[in-house]
Amino acid sequence: MKITEWFRSKLKNPFRASSEKDGDAADVDRDEIREEEAPLRRSSIDIRDKEQRDRYISNCCEQMIEATEEVEKATMEYRLVTEYLKDMEAIDNLPPDVRNPINSTAERIINLDRQSRANQKSLGKISESQYMLMNRYERDVPMDIEKIQKNEEYRELVRADMQKLESEKAVNSFRARELRLTIRNMRNMVGITLAFGVLLIFLLCILQFVMELDATVGFFVTAAVAAAAFTAEYVNYAGAAAQLRKTEHYLNAVVAKQNKVKVRYVNTTNLLEYEYRKYHINVSNELVYYWDNYLEEKKARQALERSDSEIAEEKKSLVKQLRKAQIHDPNVWVNQCEALVNPKEMVEVRHDLIVRRQSLRKRVEYNTENRDQSKDEINSIVHDYPEYGREILAIVSKYDQQ
């Protein structure tokens, strides 16, 4: 914008009807008239004050520049909308042999886009990190799932064996304690029987030799009872000792087997923990879930890539067909395929464009009016105060160079 072009002419031929003989009094009268005509523009400033005058002129210049830019933007967009409406009219007037292939291509784009959206719904069931992890170990996952499941089953069997062996160990330990107690009791009973037999023999000896009584039968009875007691005690002792040896032998076998089972359990657990850390899971079911969803998402991604590629090709074909049909901006219609095949949608798009064009027209008119008002205001100040013309020209020139 060249603001100074029109402004220099105003400086050379200022609009001043009377001479300067009345001086300041005439200027004051003109200020009063101007303030009555445009009270919102200069009523609050003193034009003779340089700071206020410069600020006011700068504001007018800024408004002119901003309004001009808005007019240019709105005008450009207005042209685009107008071209868009012309394209719509041209498309509606295309002969069937040209329009039908265009509609067919647009319908294929719409269907492919629907398929693409359907495939997108299958995405996101697992995180991107889990997807990349499954992709990294894609060849190993099926075998690892089977291996982890077998190891989990084996670990459960080993745990069950450990619990069974622990129960057997507890039972046999209790049995061994009972047998040791029985052996100790039999030893005590032998001592008691021996002491009691010695005491009876001593008493019988007193009766036989001191009191001269016949204690022969007593000796025989005591010997018979002692023999029977010692025999019973020996039998119980020998049986308990044999049972204890057998129980201890079995208990040692249980402990040895338990140690082996513990080693298997620990090794299996370590192997599972390694696999769990490898796939960031806690159980095999999580890996199965991630794997199933990975396969589904991979399939959806591949289908999405294919559909996107097909959509791109169909869009290129549509642009080529529209360009061949002398449509000004065919690229716009690749995202408005529904309007090409659906008359109602085309009517809605046309109505929206008409409303937009009306809004742009109002925008152009509004900013044009603002620009003209700012220009007229500066022109008016030059007309009323020609003595400040060169200063105003310097301010206008500064903004004109931006």
pLDDT score of 328: 85
Query: Hey, how many other C-beta atoms are within 10 angstroms of the C-beta on 331?
Result: 12
42-56, 228-242, 286-300, range with the lowest pLDDT: 42-56
pLDDT tens digit sequence for 132-186: 999 999 999 999 999 999 999 999 999 998 899 888 889 888 888 888 888 888 8
pLDDT tens digit sequence for 96-130: 988 899 999 999 999 988 888 887 777 878 888 89
Q: Is the pLDDT of residue 212 over 80?
A: no
205-214, 287-296, 327-336, range with the lowest pLDDT: 205-214
Residues 106, 107, 110, 115, CA torsion sign: negative
Confidence of residue 7 (pLDDT cuts 50, 70, 90): very low
Q: How much is the mean pLDDT over the chain? A: 81
Confidence of residue 20 (pLDDT cuts 50, 70, 90): very low
Confidence of residue 273 (pLDDT cuts 50, 70, 90): very high
Confidence of residue 277 (pLDDT cuts 50, 70, 90): very high
What are the domain boundaries of the chain?
Answer: 3-94+341-400, 135-280
Q: What is the pTM of this model?
A: 0.52
Q: Is the pLDDT of residue 46 over 80?
A: no
Confidence of residue 42 (pLDDT cuts 50, 70, 90): low
CA 132 to chain centre: 15
Question: Between residues 51 and 150, which one has the greater pLDDT?
Answer: 150
Confidence of residue 12 (pLDDT cuts 50, 70, 90): very low
- State how far the Cα of 14 lies from the Cα of 383, in Å rounded to an integer: 6
pLDDT score of 18: 32
pLDDT score of 401: 64
8-17, 75-84, 239-248, range with the lowest pLDDT: 8-17
pLDDT score of 32: 36
CATH 3.60.20.10, domain 135-280, yes or no: no
pLDDT score of 36: 34
pLDDT score of 38: 37
